Chain A
């Protein structure tokens, strides 16, 4: 299987990464060589194998729905690229 330029562009849309034409070609080549290497897994029959999702096979713990941190609103907002009072600002969404 080969990954063509069209697929690369589609994936980059899904991943929300803008891509120049030249870079897209290189990326397609890289991805093809990586997938060639990954295809090896098809040698194995795995119909009856249980997938391993986590090595720590424990049930997740419950905790009380309680705030445990101090009020760090100021500190968090300080990291924002753009803010207005207590709000994060983003480019206009509604037309």
Chain B
């Protein structure tokens, strides 16, 4: 989230698209009801199904899954055509005026530089024209035909209301109503918030779905303001924390990168991370990258990370591929290239696409360790459960070791919510049976490995043997100790250069926040963006002061919000060029002539005067990007691509099947179906009664939604002779499931490109363990394909067939 949950109450218009906040985020959704009840805010829901969110919406528009980009580019087109633009904002705070270099073009669904064999782009043409002064060329009049604004205008012109209707199946009048309501928020005194979740991310072009809305929000001037923003609703109470802390194969904490193979030394690594400003006077905050990186190395390896050894740069692994994401990892496992797999708090048998492939992959492991509070399907993947898990245990040689762990209520620590709040929590109960904290288990593994390395040496024991391990109880680091490391501390006392008697940083003290970090090895910090969470003032995450001066929704003394306790990112953009709030009734920060101050921590140096430094300090330009340059793999502007399995062909680029750079593996292509074989457009989703595959283990939740079902329209039910509550078989090219049929008015056939498209809705909460009735998940059906940038699997749009059947055989 750029904003916070509590800030949603400040909005005038909530657009829920690519998510179902009422259903999947009911607690956060309270702020929508607050906005509606107290501000008269309106709620729009755009979804293939009439969801629980739609049930309380002011306006609902249907859309075919996987066509959000067409819809949103259509809205952008509408705003441009109808001059519903926050011009002052666009001109000053976006790269609309930046001139793109000659050679960049877009034709037939592809940008310049595409290599079909590599399924990748040479992105060098997607850049600004650089002037003789070394800065990007801009045309503030927006007259240059190659300026971003004119390129954008031309790019979205295809997406007329008629085209939107043709692609998305959204009736034109409904689309226009949505576009009109959204366009009203181009007024500086009206804001809109975008609430989205997996409905946008779980597509082969998920990140571009989000880009599309981000562009729209920027041209409406809704980023950085109260009640605005791009608000990703994270699906798990701490999934934001997972991303922040870098639990990805290509990241280290705080969105720093793991080196790749060609970055053989620290200097090479840093050479592509200088982040020189692209415009005069800009902050380009990533210029501090080296400070964060070196401080990370110091927290990891302490005294063993020295300037002489590149701060232990060589202790880090070097990636031979861009990322070992889950799809790649399971593809490798499937090829027999993986021996062992640690599965910590994850249930891949139900969570990853193409379950058949997952079962085969896990069967080829030598060993599998599961660490989970629950009896997951993954830990029992080898067990025969009749039709529900039809495997032959005798043919599976994988040794499975189940390590019972504690659940969230049994341990202490911080959970990072969607709004970037690090909220400390305390254990509510003792772990049952043999369950152990994950930290204990991880510590034991480390200590045993370390002992083995000490004893046996091995090719490269240094990173293990030198790992900092200064915990009071070596066997179990405490959450507090770990949090203090994440905040960072001073390694060596630093004196003021002007006055050597003056201590700037005192050895052993916690750093106040990341502004104190240094690149000379005198500071250590585990996750720079969290720095400030646990400084000398104490555990700021444990703060529970819910006062909210002037009811701004900031709650500045409740927990700690990264970065620097900032509640709304880019908040400098809430004020105009003179530093006055766009909307005086929604002041966030303002320039008082000498400094920025207000209700939030300014997202800009507090003393840098307005009209000099741009609000988007993380960007080299200082402005936001309507044109993404080379930062997105599909291209600098979003394009409508059909899902890999789509009921109709792509009408804007008929030759392109799916996202041209999506994560696919050659072995899986044969398993992509066409609409001739599989005529119905399926989508998967969560229900409010359950959380993933967890709560089926709880009898209360199991009672509230006891059994696996699929949802279909009355029309499809009639066509197929499917009765309410009867058994149906749903199958794709990759597998099949049996479910109860919920026949509903909430799903209606859509007319796309002149052809009726039936939607089959498949919720995902059942499996073969737990208290609820046995069932399947949609991953038995979904294709093995992922987003081009973040590799999220395409769960939201695929093809299936459906027919009546009888109850599954039970064991």
Same complex origin of A and B: no
Interface residues of A (CB under 8 A from B): none
